[in-house]
Structure 1
Amino acid sequence: MQEAYDIPSPVGVLRLRPERDEDQDFRYRLFCDSRQPEFALLLAAPDFERIMRFQYRAQTVSYRAEFPAARFDIIELSGEPIGRIIVDRPGGMLHIVDQAIAPEWRNRGIGTAIMRALMDEAQTAGLPVRLEVSSANDPSLRLYQRLGFVPIETVALYMRLEWRALATQSERPC
C-alpha cells in the first residue's frame, strides 16, 4: 500500500492518502460538483442523478483500466476529505490524470500548493508535468498558465498542457 504524504498550503497541511472504499460517497459528490454546470441546467433532477451515476462509474472503471499504476489520492485537511487527485508516473513524465477540489475549498491556494509540490517532484526527476483541462474551465486554465503550463495540443473540448522546469528556480512564475 502506498503511503500518505503531507503538503503545506495556505489553509494548513494537506494530507494526500490513497483512496479507500469508504471514500466512494465523497468521490461521487465531488464528481457531481465538478460537472454540475455541464449537466444540471439541461436535465431534470432524476435524469441528472441517473446520468451522473453512470458517468461516475464509467470514469472510475476507465481510469483504473487506463492508469493501473497511478496514485489515486484523497486530499484531506484536518482529517476531512476536501479533494481528489490522480497522478500517473509512466516514466517519461508526471501525468495529472484528474484532480478536483470541493467547491467550498476552491480559490484558497490548495490547488496551487499541490501543483507546486508535483512540479518540484518533476523538476527533481527531470520530467515534464502534463495534464488535460476543459477549454471552458477558465479558473483551472488561469491557474495552470500562472504556474507556467503551456498548451501543447487541443483535442475536441480539451487542451493538453505541459510544464517543464526552468533552468533556475528564480525563473519560476509566481
Structure 2
Amino acid sequence: MRNATGPKGGRPGADPATTATLRPAAPADAGFLRDLFAADAGELLRSTGLTGEAIASLLSLQLRSRDAAYRERYPEARFSVIEREGVPVGRLVEADGDGFTLVVDIAVAPAWRRSGIAAAVLRDAMARWSGAGRGGWANVFVNNVPSLALFAGLGFTGKAEDGAAQVTMTWTP
C-alpha cells in the first residue's frame, strides 16, 4: 500500500492533513466502484426522465464496457482503490508507457471532492514516477474544469486544440 499526504481543504471536523492510501482494487470493491461511476455518469441519465431501472441497466452496461476497454487497451494497468482511514473514497488507474505513466482514470466520491485527496494521491504518484525516471500525462475533457485545475495546480501543462474534446496534460520531473 502507498500513502499520500497533502493539505486539507474545507472538510469540517477533519484532520488538517489529507491522508489517502492506495490498494489494489478487488472483486469486493465492485459495489463501491459501481456507485462511484454512477455518481458521475448517472447525473446525465437521471436528467432524461428514464426510469430508475433503465438508468441502472445503462450504468451497469457503461461501467462494464469502460472497464473492459481499459483492461484491453492497458493490460498492465494498476487499478487501485483510494481509501481514507480505511473507507473507500475513490479510484486511480495508472498505465506505464515508455518513459511516462498515463493517468487513465482518477475519480473521487462526491462527498470527498475538494478535500485534497486527488491532489495528494497524484503528488504521491508523481514522486513514484519521478523516482523511476518517468513523467506523467492524462487526457482531460475540456469541460472538466475541476480536473483541469487539479492537474494544472500540480504542474501539469496542456493546451486545448481548437475543437478538441480533451486536453493532454503532461508533467515532466
TM range (shorter): 0.7 to 0.9
Structure-1 residue corresponding to 2:165: 157
Q: Note the residue ranges of structure 1 that are not aligned, 5 or more in a row.
A: 166-174
After superposition, the CA RMSD in angstroms is 1.8
Aligned pairs for 1:41-120 (under 5 A) are: 41-44=47-50, 45-120=52-127
Q: Note the residue ranges of structure 2 that are not aligned, 5 or more in a row.
A: 9-16
Q: Partner letter of residue 39 of structure 2?
A: D
1:37 and 2:8 aligned: no
Q: Aligned equivalents of 1:138 and 1:39: distance in 2? A: 21
Q: Aligned equivalents of 1:153 and 1:127: distance in 2? A: 23
Structure-1 residue corresponding to 2:2: 5
| Larger RCO of the pair (alpha carbons < 8 Å, separation 6+) | 2
TM-score (norm. length: structure 2): 0.85
Aligned residue among 17, 23, 28 for 2:34:
28
The alignment-based identity, stated in percent, is 29
| SS of equivalent residue, structure 1 residue 119 | helix
TM-score (norm. length: structure 1): 0.84
Indicate how the Cα distance of structure 1 residues 160 and 39 shifts in structure 2: closer, same or farther if over 3 A, else same.
farther
CA contact (8 A) 1:152 1:162 kept: no
Give the total of aligned pairs: 162
